[in-house]
Chain A
């Protein structure tokens, strides 16, 4: 049941056009973050919100 829901959701998003690279290309540069006027908000970069210190320590404990 869970797998079906996941598959349905994925198919739904892909059918909606989410999966192409158009948006990624558009946001790859020239963006600004909430946290600072000069900071980058492009996907994959640190931005206005980040993990708190104790959460990062927790994730460290889960690494293999």
Chain B
């Protein structure tokens, strides 16, 4: 127990003096780094705009209210498109992610030395790049439209589903696999009867969770031309039609809350 002596009395301390000192030094370093970054970041900031920000915010808020409710009739089709991007993208992502997860998991991979690193690289690349960037790329390759959005969502989902699924596969109970292989099952049958039933609930939960996130992400894909309600958002922003923007925000908020509720209910039923 670290203690300190003051005037002949022993006082309790949480840490020894050396650790305390190291901790303070660490904090000092962090503060210095923060100040340095702040200065580098704001080299080109025009501070003249900043005092004006509250007035700008009030101005935008004034333009946003009331939302133009009649615009809603033009939002139903983009909203349906957004749901399609998220759902079909998630399905495509699942189809691509499941084999990758099985090839990557340490206990099911055919080759831990060659195939596993490739799978890990695919998962990390997919996870590092936001779906909006994938969409940006795909719009320039495939042209604007829903297809670019669907593939963008799918490519981003591979990393998420793949990572969580391969971790689930690595954590399964091996006694069940031994029982199945004791019946003389082939390795495919072990996969089918031993591993799949164990990871199926986790897999369903992961997929629904990702679908929920994808709904959120697909609402903004239209900003780069990949279809859905973001396209309307982009039009309204470009024409400075703030009362349409606010209606779109309300619709997005409603969709997100609804999808979160659905996903929470489904996952609750699964677990």
Q: Do A and B bind each other?
A: no
Show the binding face of B for A, using Cβ within 8 Å.
none
